[in-house]
Structure 1
């Protein structure tokens, strides 16, 4: 009985780990029934396919998951930047056929590595311009725009044979706090939630999305006492019973301080499972940490805190997602032009400028949120350097006689960035401003908004400036 419970408890866990090879404890746990594993940029090498194969050698049905949104959130291409421009750029273009093409190519990239699940897309409506964690990860600020592009993206990823995941239920767009750091509160009324935040999730469910990720969010109009991750009212009452979602529901990473500052990992897992969650994402754990979570789940079943039927239901949904993946054809046609086409069409340009000599690229580095790998480059200096030899990059706006390209991110959210732009324009009216986040009012001889950070967005800017 206890051995079966141990296996059931392990089957609902999706841990991350250090290194480019699977540690011994992870391989052992997979053999004991561990149901998932999460890959991050720290795990990615030229032989990521070999890493995934080693996981499947221990458990062929393991759900291998990754955050590959495109744009600023990329794990597979974190070192050079994504081949796809990200959600906000796709929303600016507003061509659902193109969004589906991009989603299919992201799915194809994962399918080639035998990855089961993409923790994407973000279907949050970025209703609050001050939002520090969603921003360009959202397709835009309105429900209808986000809903139609969410559907297209999901159809693309799943059309390539990889499960998609709509996140962060019931909506992380109207927040001013990053849930990696503290518990955000969504102050919207129930009517606002139903009119703005829920429609993209309803559309995703209608499109057959295989997974939903819940956000660590306090939403008093739905449940004044518990974060969504731990709220049966929100996850079972709203998502399951009212919206009709019957796929795999996974938590955001449980080490995020929004919940980790309140409960231990084991208690988070037990409470989330009781609320209706099927899979627990633990972004980085040790062997001891993994088994502590497993043992907490087993203890909760034995003392009646967590019904065994609920745990078995959760495990069944994890297995059902793995079985869906195993049955999918994975033969999406290459469409190498999709990412660049989206990046080019997303550029919003005010003014006119052209570079004929190597510029000084000044990167004004705002601190990205913690969903973004800290080493993900904007890539603009490299892209310009391929065309104009001698291009230099600096973070210090100490201008000389060379042409200057000022790269900023989310100037609309940061007064000090706006002041930096204004001072640069005062000193050098010919400065070219490239905005990679949510744009502010245009400034400079030319203002180019990419609506995201990616390798292709940088190349698109370089092409326009050296046309």
Structure 2
């Protein structure tokens, strides 16, 4: 089939691509000039504020208002805070405070910071209602387990981000909070019928639509009670039905990453991209490790689907038009001023202390290691910036007696992260508490499991400001700047 430049350009308009390095490669710059919608930056593209601002300026020169995006949720999922932890507390902490004005202010400051760095689209906030505590993909990324609370904070976050100068993107539609699997590695199941879905999962997304959210990102989940045998991203009944018709959303629908196993493991990325567009998605977020050759294969699959009559040309034009409107919305939008200290102030307000903490005697601080979530990646966490000599222990191999011996004559502080999800962590901490019931436990994930101890501190997140807030409560002797 001979090349059709117009069709290629329409296909390009559906692509949000990653790339390999701190500098934009030629294939990305040429792709943007040829109509590619934009890029999504990850840890491997961001070294420091000066570098990423230069990179984004270079990208912006390649086309008129390309979408320059990232996943910046604050708290555990941060790209700009990858090296030292986030200066914002994350959604679970904001939900614990439950002050919608504060959530709006935090996200306005975050949006302003992103705009100042040259970003135009933030793939946030998470609008998922986290009703399953063991959920491996959401957890502290959610504002909470109550649909009404999540809805009001989702609306506040959307408003704040867009006041800050970037387009917001509520995710993961129609709701990833009731899953026990991670869609990065498999296809999770949500056991919810239509009535429950509207009452719980869809409530925050309706709030986002009413708040004027510019984009919504789909979830690679299966809803068997709605008759879905495959992922929601590829289902017209979800994208064109629930989202467009029932919720009345007219903005840009973005897929979660096409490289994720939950959507493409069985059919491959090119076919998943085609089916997502047929379902009604407008913009294909490809993921982190999808580069030039794979991008070309996806583009070719889209144009071939049009030529074969599987994907209507009008549907492709509609998707390109919606993406163009999103780009137009972001063009020239000024950044508001970021609020100095709002991230730390909100993290401080989220900290909860259960028990009698009192003054500590030269505490020994040990952190029980926990695997990083796939969405978050490897980001520093814990209390070591404020307590010199802090040790990180592997819960599977740590010996309780050695920990107790090292803390002889001093107070002991044990730091955990989502202990309810890790049996070996619970076993180790329970034994330490049995022998030293006066020790202090700091939980930097969701405080679902509460051991028997002198005091239990909950931060509702592992961002840098969450850690600083806990350190202050513990009377940390060392000050550390928040990156």
Report the TM-score when normalising by structure 1. Answer: 0.96
The separation in 1 between residues aligned to 2:63 and 2:80, in whole angstroms, is 23
The separation in 1 between residues aligned to 2:96 and 2:392, in whole angstroms, is 29
Look up the match of 2:481: none
On the 8 A contact 1:108/1:157 being kept in 2, the answer is yes
The separation in 1 between residues aligned to 2:268 and 2:332, in whole angstroms, is 37
On the 8 A contact 2:135/2:179 being kept in 1, the answer is yes
CA offset at residue 355 of structure 1? 5.9
Look up the match of 1:282: 286
Look up the match of 1:89: 93
CA offset at residue 379 of structure 1? 3.6
- Asked whether 1:409 is paired with 2:417, we answer yes
On the 8 A contact 1:11/1:318 being kept in 2, the answer is yes
DSSP 3-state at the match of 1:175: coil
On the 8 A contact 1:435/1:447 being kept in 2, the answer is yes
Look up the match of 2:392: 394
Look up the match of 2:152: 148
The separation in 1 between residues aligned to 2:70 and 2:359, in whole angstroms, is 38
On the 8 A contact 2:16/2:283 being kept in 1, the answer is yes
The separation in 1 between residues aligned to 2:391 and 2:363, in whole angstroms, is 9
On the 8 A contact 2:430/2:451 being kept in 1, the answer is no
Look up the match of 1:320: 325
CA offset at residue 357 of structure 1? 5.3
The separation in 1 between residues aligned to 2:243 and 2:382, in whole angstroms, is 40
1:436 is aligned, of 444, 465, 468, to 444
1:234 is aligned, of 228, 238, 247, to 238
2:125 is aligned, of 112, 121, 143, to 121
- Asked whether 1:351 is paired with 2:359, we answer no
Deviations 1:47-90 (CA, angstroms, capped at 9, x unpaired):
10111111112113211110000100000001111011100100
- Asked whether 1:453 is paired with 2:456, we answer no
On the 8 A contact 1:421/1:443 being kept in 2, the answer is no
The separation in 1 between residues aligned to 2:229 and 2:382, in whole angstroms, is 44
Deviations 1:248-269 (CA, angstroms, capped at 9, x unpaired):
1001111111112111111111
Look up the match of 1:35: 37
CA offset at residue 358 of structure 1? 4.7
CA offset at residue 442 of structure 1? 4.7
Look up the match of 1:75: 79
Number of residue pairs matched by the alignment: 460
DSSP 3-state at the match of 2:213: coil
CA offset at residue 5 of structure 1? 0.6
Look up the match of 2:316: 311
The separation in 1 between residues aligned to 2:163 and 2:442, in whole angstroms, is 34
The separation in 1 between residues aligned to 2:381 and 2:433, in whole angstroms, is 21
CA offset at residue 132 of structure 1? 1.1
DSSP 3-state at the match of 1:259: helix
Look up the match of 2:22: 20
On the 8 A contact 1:63/1:117 being kept in 2, the answer is yes
CA offset at residue 109 of structure 1? 1.1
CA offset at residue 194 of structure 1? 1.1
On the 8 A contact 1:436/1:452 being kept in 2, the answer is yes
On the 8 A contact 2:90/2:461 being kept in 1, the answer is yes
Segments of structure 2 that go 5 or more residues without pairing to the other structure are 477-483
On the 8 A contact 1:64/1:116 being kept in 2, the answer is yes
The separation in 1 between residues aligned to 2:57 and 2:361, in whole angstroms, is 48
The separation in 1 between residues aligned to 2:392 and 2:201, in whole angstroms, is 40
On the 8 A contact 1:35/1:318 being kept in 2, the answer is yes
Residues 15-414 of structure 1 aligned to structure 2 (within 5 Å):
15-46=17-48, 47-283=51-287, 284-330=289-335, 332-353=336-357, 358-374=362-378, 376-382=379-385, 384-385=386-387, 390-395=388-393, 396=398, 398-399=402-403, 400=406, 401=408, 402-414=410-422
The separation in 2 between residues aligned to 1:195 and 1:183, in whole angstroms, is 23
CA offset at residue 45 of structure 1? 1.6
On the 8 A contact 1:188/1:221 being kept in 2, the answer is yes
On the 8 A contact 2:433/2:451 being kept in 1, the answer is no
Deviations 1:27-60 (CA, angstroms, capped at 9, x unpaired):
1211221111001111102210111111112113
DSSP 3-state at the match of 2:309: coil
The separation in 2 between residues aligned to 1:223 and 1:76, in whole angstroms, is 40
Look up the match of 2:5: 3
The separation in 2 between residues aligned to 1:108 and 1:348, in whole angstroms, is 29
On the 8 A contact 1:350/1:442 being kept in 2, the answer is no
RMSD of Structure 2 on Structure 1 (CA):
1.5
Segments of structure 1 that go 5 or more residues without pairing to the other structure are none
Deviations 1:388-418 (CA, angstroms, capped at 9, x unpaired):
xx43323145321243221111122333222
